[in-house]
């Protein structure tokens, strides 16, 4: 799973959904979870033995996130098919996170009947050039800032908001 994140992040130039820290925290901060509980929170997709994607929840009632290699994005509908079948009947709605600049996934979710619920933040970015107000640093304080891309905002998408359906 870490290798998929590394490859995907390198191809995109910024973290696509989960970061290494978040994945490590998911595994190691949950020291009391059994292997079976972890298997219920993540589902893996392979192609010829190579991991091409996974769905993951931080906890049993959290938002679902799709992690997919950039070259395997055609598998996203199958991942959503699985998630929708797996969680239907156990949740009032299925919520997913989607980066605001991921137009391809937004179109896929909208076509499947998901609704954009607006911003959902789980990552914060500090901009060192921003004014800091009345706080001042001691004369002995120094810092070296490294430029890094700021992760775009994430939106919360959900399906099954009601039992009504529309036909076209």
Ordered structural domains, the chain, with CATH: 2-123+140-159 (3.40.630.30)
Helix (H, G, I), strand (E, B) or coil at 69: coil
Q: What are the pLDDT digits (tens) for 99-121?
A: 777 889 889 999 999 888 877 65
159: confidence class by pLDDT, cuts 50, 70, 90: low
Q: Which structure tokens are listed for 37? A: 């509980």
Average pLDDT over residues 143-153: 45
Neighbours of 5 (CB within 10 A): 20
Average pLDDT over residues 153-162: 55
Q: Is the pTM of this model over 0.85?
A: no
163: confidence class by pLDDT, cuts 50, 70, 90: very low
């Amino acid at each position: 799973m870490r290798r998929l994140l590394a490859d995907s992040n390198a191809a995109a130039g910024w973290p696509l959904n989960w970061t290494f820290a978040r994945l490590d925290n998911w595994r190691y901060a949950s020291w009391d979870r059994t292997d079976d509980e972890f298997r219920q929170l993540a589902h893996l997709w392979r192609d010829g033995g190579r991991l091409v994607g996974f769905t993951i929840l931080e906890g049993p009632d959290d938002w679902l996130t799709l992690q997919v290699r950039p070259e395997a994005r055609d598998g996203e509908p199958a991942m959503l098919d699985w998630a929708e079948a797996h969680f239907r009947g156990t949740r009032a709605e299925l919520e997913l996170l989607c980066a605001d600049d991921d137009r391809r996934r937004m179109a896929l979710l909208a076509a499947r009947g998901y609704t954009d619920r607006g911003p959902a933040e789980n990552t914060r970015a500090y901009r060192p050039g921003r004014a800091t107000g009345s706080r001042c640093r001691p004369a002995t304080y120094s810092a070296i800032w490294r430029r890094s891309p700021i992760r775009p905002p994430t939106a919360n998408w959900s399906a099954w908001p009601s039992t009504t359906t529309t036909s076209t």
